[in-house]
Amino acid sequence: MSQQAAQPDEPVSGSLKSRFITAILGLPVILIILWQGGLPFAILVAITCVIMGIEWINIISKEDRLAQILLSGMIFLLALAGHDGFGTGLAFYGFGILISLGLSLLLGMKLSLVSGGFAYIGAAALSLVLLRNIDGGFLLVFYIFWAVWATDVMAYVFGKTIGGPKLAPVISPNKTWAGLLGGVLGAVIIGGAVSFFIHASSLTFLVIFSAFLAVISQIGDLFESSLKRKYNVKDSGGILPGHGGMLDRMDGMLAAAIAVFILLIVRSYDKGMTASAVLVW
């Protein structure tokens, strides 16, 4: 999670070092599977989102095992349904929402547990799988990944080195406006770089769109912060050294993926279901 305070016994440089090592070890694997696409990518997304689903349950209900099993199974099946096709994925998502609501009411669970987790994390899982499967999907998802990663890194660096006025002190006291501007700058740099590979897209559009993704990513970050603050939890988990939980690391990615997928749906009516429907203006 961007701009997260370092542990009291660990200096900022130590936290950055832990983050860097974790990223170096995991990044090549992620990019290779992303490049390959297909079922391997769908399984990677499924496993990642299952971990986030478990962390979601832990935040809200302190390790509710039944809720974890239900949510994990539904998210995994949803990612595989997305691999099977656009219509299949969307149909399973709608069906899953109804099933999760029914199970929540039948078992007396909070709606935010299985239903909320499936609606949010499931939407992101489906979005990533479907975006990768469209024509030109590798470049589109590759761009989303790097834009969000650049946002996280630059927001962390600017927030720690510059500080200044707080962005949302009630929700996340460590986040600053300087961090937000740094995150936008990071995403804009990625957008400018990607414009050299997409000749049909203007530099101006990709810069604006990248800034939009950075803001959406930070909103996703703030949403997870508000959830943890509500339930008095510091980190969603500890699976990633230097980063906290998977949900801490992927909170911005969830929001960005959903936003891009919705934009694709809106624009695909006149451009077709391709990556250019999003990245070419």
> Is 97 found in the same domain as 166?
no
> Is 151 found in the same domain as 276?
yes
* Average confidence (pLDDT) over 215-236: 91
Give the domain-ending residue among 117, 133, 149. Answer: 133
Among 3-17, 112-126, 162-176, the range scoring the smallest mean pLDDT is: 3-17
Would you state the pLDDT for residue 207?
Answer: 92
Give the domain-ending residue among 133, 157, 177. Answer: 133
Give the domain-ending residue among 109, 133, 157. Answer: 133
Would you state the pLDDT for residue 76?
Answer: 97
Task: Kindly tell me if the per-residue pLDDT of 26 is higher than 90.
Answer: no
Q: Please report whether residue 15 resides in a domain.
A: no
Q: Please give the helix or strand (H or E) that residue 172 lies within, else none.
A: strand 172-176
Q: Please report whether residue 171 resides in a domain.
A: yes
Q: Please report whether residue 50 resides in a domain.
A: yes
Question: Closest Cα partner for 81 from 115, 46, 37, 114?
Answer: 46
Distance CA 180, CA 234 (A): 21
> Is 159 found in the same domain as 70?
no
Would you state the pLDDT for residue 237?
Answer: 77
Q: Which domain holds residue 120?
A: 37-133
Q: Name the region of 135 (left: φ>0; alpha: ψ -120 to 50; beta: rest).
A: beta
Task: Kindly tell me if the per-residue pLDDT of 142 is higher than 80.
Answer: yes
- Which tens digits make up the pLDDT trace of 238-258? 776 555 789 988 999 999 999
* Average confidence (pLDDT) over 161-184: 89
State the total domains in the chain.
2
> Is 221 found in the same domain as 164?
yes
CB 33 within 8 A of CB 41: yes
Q: Please report whether residue 146 resides in a domain.
A: yes
202 secondary structure, DSSP code: -
CB 118 within 8 A of CB 75: yes
> Is 201 found in the same domain as 182?
yes
CB 161 within 8 A of CB 176: no
pTM, two decimals, is 0.88
Average pLDDT, the chain: 87
Task: Kindly tell me if the per-residue pLDDT of 267 is higher than 70.
Answer: yes
Would you state the pLDDT for residue 40?
Answer: 96
Task: Give phi and psi for 166, each to the nearest 5.
Answer: -75, 145
Q: Measured over all CA atoms, what is the biggest interatomic distance in the chain, rounded to whole angstroms? A: 55
